[in-house]
C-alpha cells in the first residue's frame, strides 16, 4: 500500500465535511443543521478525527467553538480534498452518461471518406464534448492498431485469422455489404440480361489484392461454383480498380461501399449468379478490454446510423 494512503488511517471524507461545517458555522449545532445530521453525530465525527490526527482542532467553550492553530492549517487542505472528490465524481458521472470522453477509431480510407464524416457530425451534435480521433489506414493495419491499444475500435472486414485464436479480435456485425460486378457500360457483360459465373471465364479480370477481405470472399464464391479466374491486374486501391474498369481494361468486383463511387467513373453494376455475395462489415475491438462509455456509445450509434432504412437503400441502389 502507498505510504500516503497508509498515513490516512481511518480519516474519512465525512469527517472532513463535518470539520468544515463546524468551522464555517462556528457551532456544532449549525454544522448539524447544515448537514442534516444530529449534533451528537457531528461531535462523534470531530472527536474521532481529532483522535486519529492526534490534534485538537477546535477550542470549545459553552458559548463558542473556534479553530485552533492546527485546525486553521487543516482547513484549506480539507476544502481541497472535498473539491477534488466532487470534481472526480462529476467527471465519472459525465463519463458514465457518455457526455465526455475520447473515442479513437480506425477504418479503411473508403469507409472513412464515405460514411464517417456524416456520422461524426451527427454524433457530435448529440455528444459535443466527446473527442473523436480518426485513423484512415489500409485494411491489413486494422488488427494491429486495436490489439496494440492505439485505437478503441476498428471498422472493416476481418479475414478469418483476425477473429480466431487467443489473439483474435472481438467483432460485432455492423451490416452485410453486397459484393457486385462492375464493368464499362459498353462491355459485353453489361449487355447480358443476367450474368452467370461461366460468362466471366474469357474476360480480363481486375482484382484487389488478398490484403482486402473482398478478395477472399470473391475467391470463395468462385470456388463454390468451380470457377477459377486469373487476374490481369491486382491493385490495392478501389479508386485505382474503378479507374482501370472505366478505361476498359476489364471487369472487377466491388462492395456496396465502393459502388457509391461508381457514378464518378461511369461504370455499370451487376450481380453475378443467383446468390448474393455478402461481405461482413464489423466493428472490431480488443478481446480482453472493455470499451469506454464514449466508445461503446459511438459503436452503438454507428450501428443504428448505418442500418437506417434510407441509408441502407442508398448503399444498395
Q: Report pLDDT digits (tens) over 113-159.
A: 889 999 999 999 988 888 999 999 888 788 888 888 899 999 988 76
Dihedral angle of Cα 306, 310, 314, 315, to the nearest 10 degrees: 30
Instruction: Provide the terminal-to-terminal Cα distance of the chain, rounded to the nearest Å.
Output: 62
Position 96 scores a pLDDT of 52
Q: Band the pLDDT of 163: cuts 50, 70, 90.
A: low
pLDDT at 93 over 70: no
When pLDDT is averaged across residues 76-98 and rounded to a whole number, the result is: 66
Phi, psi of 106 (to 5 degrees): -120, 145
154: helix, coil or strand?
strand
Which residues make up the CATH 3.40.190.290 domain(s) of the chain? 101-317
Fold of 3-96: Arc Repressor Mutant, subunit A (1.10.10)
Angle, helices 116-126/293-306, rounded to nearest 10 degrees = 120
Position 14 scores a pLDDT of 84
pLDDT digits (tens, 9 = 90+) for 192-232: 999 999 999 889 999 998 877 788 889 999 999 999 999 99
Fold of 101-317: D-Maltodextrin-Binding Protein; domain 2 (3.40.190)
Weakest mean pLDDT among 60-64, 130-134, 144-148, 187-191: 60-64
Beta strands in the chain (DSSP E): 58-60, 65-67, 101-107, 130-136, 153-156, 170-183, 205-208, 233-235, 251-255, 268-270, 277-285
Weakest mean pLDDT among 74-78, 80-84, 165-169: 165-169
Position 5 scores a pLDDT of 37
Mean pLDDT of the chain: 83
pLDDT at 314 over 50: no
Which residues make up the CATH 1.10.10.10 domain(s) of the chain? 3-96
Amino acid at each position: 500500500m502507498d505510504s500516503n494512503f497508509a498515513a490516512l488511517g481511518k480519516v474519512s471524507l465525512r469527517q472532513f465535511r463535518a470539520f468544515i461545517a463546524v468551522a464555517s458555522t462556528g457551532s456544532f449545532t449549525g454544522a448539524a443543521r447544515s448537514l442534516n445530521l444530529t449534533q451528537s453525530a457531528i461531535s462523534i465525527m470531530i472527536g474521532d478525527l481529532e483522535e486519529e490526527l492526534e490534534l485538537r482542532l477546535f477550542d470549545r467553550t459553552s458559548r463558542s467553538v473556534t479553530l485552533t492553530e492546527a485546525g486553521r492549517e487543516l482547513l484549506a487542505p480539507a476544502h481541497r480534498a472535498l473539491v477534488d472528490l466532487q470534481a472526480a465524481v462529476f467527471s465519472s458521472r459525465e463519463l458514465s452518461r457518455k457526455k465526455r470522453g475520447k473515442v479513437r477509431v480506425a477504418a479503411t480510407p473508403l469507409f472513412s471518406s464515405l460514411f464517417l464524416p456524416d456520422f461524426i457530425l451527427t454524433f457530435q451534435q448529440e455528444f459535443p464534448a466527446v473527442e473523436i480521433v480518426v485513423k484512415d489506414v489500409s485494411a491489413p493495419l486494422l488488427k494491429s492498431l486495436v490489439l496494440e491499444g492505439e485505437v478503441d475500435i476498428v471498422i472493416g472486414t476481418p479475414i478469418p485469422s483476425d477473429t480466431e485464436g487467443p489473439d483474435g479480435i472481438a467483432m460485432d456485425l455492423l451490416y452485410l455489404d453486397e459484393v457486385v460486378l462492375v464493368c464499362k457500360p459498353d462491355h459485353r457483360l453489361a449487355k447480358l440480361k443476367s450474368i452467370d459465373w461461366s460468362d466471366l471465364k474469357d474476360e480480363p479480370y481486375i482484382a484487389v489484392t488478398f490484403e482486402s477481405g473482398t478478395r477472399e470472399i470473391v475467391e470463395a464464391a468462385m470456388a463454390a461454383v468451380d470457377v477459377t479466374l486469373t487476374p490481369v491486374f491486382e491493385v490495392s486501391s478501389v479508386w485505382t480498380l474503378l479507374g482501370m474498369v472505366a478505361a476498359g481494361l476489364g471487369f472487377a468486383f466491388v462492395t456496396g461501399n465502393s459502388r457509391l463511387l461508381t457514378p464518378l467513373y461511369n461504370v455499370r453494376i451487376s450481380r453475378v449468379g443467383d446468390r448474393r455475395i455478402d461481405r461482413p462489415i464489423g466493428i472490431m475491438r480488443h478481446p480482453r478490454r472493455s470499451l469506454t462509455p464514449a466508445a461503446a456509445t459511438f459503436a452503438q450509434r454507428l450501428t443504428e446510423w448505418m442500418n437506417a432504412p434510407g441509408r441502407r437503400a442508398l448503399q444498395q441502389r
